Structure 1
Amino acid sequence: MPRITLDAAPLRLTIDPELGASITDFSIEGPCGDRYPLMRRAPDQPTEPGQCASFVMAPWTNRIEHAAFDFAGTHHRLRANFPDGTAIHGVARDAPWRITDRTPVSARLVYDSRAHESANFPFVFACVQRFELAPDHLEVELSVTNLDDRPMPAALGHHPFFPRVLFAAKEEALLHAPVAGRYPADRCLPTAHAAPDEHCARLSTNAPVGNHGLDDVFAGFAGRATITWPGSGVRLTMDCSDALDHLVVFTPRLDPADPAAPPLPWFCVEPCSAVNNAFNLAARGWAHTGTRTLEPAQTLAATVFYHIERL
Structure 2
Amino acid sequence: MIGIGNIVALQHGAMTCRLAPDCGGSIASWTKQGAHGLINLFRPASFAAESSGSATDMACFPLVPFSNRIAGGRFTFQGRAVTLPPNLGFSHAIHGHGWTAPWTVDERSDRAARLSYHHPAGAWPWRYSAVQTIALDDDGLVMTLDLINESDSAMPAGLGLHPYFPKPPGTRVTTGLTGMWESDGNVLPRSRHPLPTRLDFPAGLAMDDSVILDHGFTGWNGQATVRWCGGVADGTSVSLLADGPFGHLIVYAPAGETFLCLEPVSHMTDAVNHPEEADAGVFVLAPGERLSGTVRFRVSSP
Does TM-score exceed 0.5, indicating one fold?
yes
Contact 2:244-2:292 within 8 A present in 1 as well: no
Q: What amino acid maps onto 1:53 in structure 2?
A: A
Instruction: Give the deviation of 1:2 after TM superposition.
Output: 1.8
Residue 207 of structure 2 aligns to which amino acid in structure 1?
V
Offset of 1:177 from its aligned partner?
1.2
Q: What per-residue deviation string (whole Å, max 9, x for no partner) do you get for residues 222-277 of structure 1?
A: 00000111331201111001411100111111xxxxxxxxx311111111000000
Equivalent residue, structure 2, for 1:264: 257
Match of 1:192, SS? strand
Could you list the structure 1 runs, at least 4 aligned residues long, displaced by more than 6 angstroms after superposition: none
Q: Would you say 1:87 and 2:89 are equivalent positions?
A: no
5+ residue gaps in structure 1? 166-170, 254-262
User: What secondary structure does 2:56 align onto?
Assistant: helix
SS in 2 for 1:204: helix
Q: How do 1:25-104 residues align onto structure 2 when only pairs under 5 Å count?
A: 25-32=29-36, 34-44=37-47, 45-104=51-110
Partner amino acid for 2:290?
T
Task: Supply the distance in 1 between the matched residues of 2:124 and 2:247 (Cα, whole angstroms).
Answer: 24
Q: Deviations over 1:1-28 (max 9, x none)?
A: 5211101121110111101110000011
Q: What displacement does 1:286 show? A: 2.2
Write the deviation string for residues 190-237 of structure 1: whole angstroms up to 9, x where unpaired.
Answer: 1234533225x5111112112221100001110000011133120111
Q: Per the alignment, in what secondary structure is the counterpart of residue 39 of structure 2?
A: strand
> 1:134 Cα deviation (Å)?
1.6
Question: Partner amino acid for 2:281?
Answer: G
Residue number in structure 2 paired with 1:256:
none
* Counterpart amino acid of residue 195 in structure 2: P
Task: For 1:180, give the aligned amino acid.
Answer: T
Q: Which residue in 2 is equivalent to 1:152?
A: 155
Matched, 1:237 2:228: no
Aligned length: 290
User: 1:9 corresponds to which residue?
Assistant: 13
Shift of 1:30: 2.7
* Structure 2 partner of 1:280: 273
Name whichever of 187-196 and 230-239 sits farther off.
Answer: 187-196
TM-score by length of 1: 0.89
Counterpart in the other structure of 2:291: 300
- Aligned-CA RMSD value: 1.5
Pairwise mapping of residues 137-286 of structure 1 onto structure 2 (< 5 A)? Answer: 137-165=140-168, 171-186=169-184, 187-199=186-198, 201-211=199-209, 212-231=211-230, 232-253=234-255, 263-282=256-275, 285-286=276-277
Contact 1:11–1:135 (CA under 8 A) maintained in structure 2: no
Query: Distance in 2 between the 1:141 and 1:268 partners?
Result: 18
Match for 2:124: what amino acid? F
The offset of 1:292, in angstroms, is 0.4
Q: For 2:193 and 2:152, locate their aligned partners in 1 and report how far apart those are by CA, in whole Å.
A: 35
- Normalized against structure 2, the TM-score is what? 0.92
How much has 1:120 moved relative to structure 2? Answer: 5.3
Distance in 2 separating the partners of 1:226 and 1:272: 16
Between the aligned partners of 1:230 and 1:277, the Cα distance in structure 2 is 36
Render the CA deviation track for 1:32-63: whole Å, top value 9, x for unaligned: 4x422111111232421001001111101000
Alignment correspondent of 1:258: none
CA distance in 2, matches of 1:56, 1:84: 19
Percent identity of equivalent pairs: 28
The question of 1:128 aligning with 2:131 is answered yes
Q: Distance in 1 between matches of 2:133 and 2:190?
A: 35
- Is the contact between residue 83 and residue 123 of structure 2 (CA under 8 Å) also seen in structure 1? no
- For 2:274, what is the secondary structure of its paired residue? helix
Q: What SS does structure 2 have at the residue aligned with 1:275?
A: coil
Correspondence 1:291 to 2:282? yes
Quote the offset at 1:135 in angstroms: 3.3
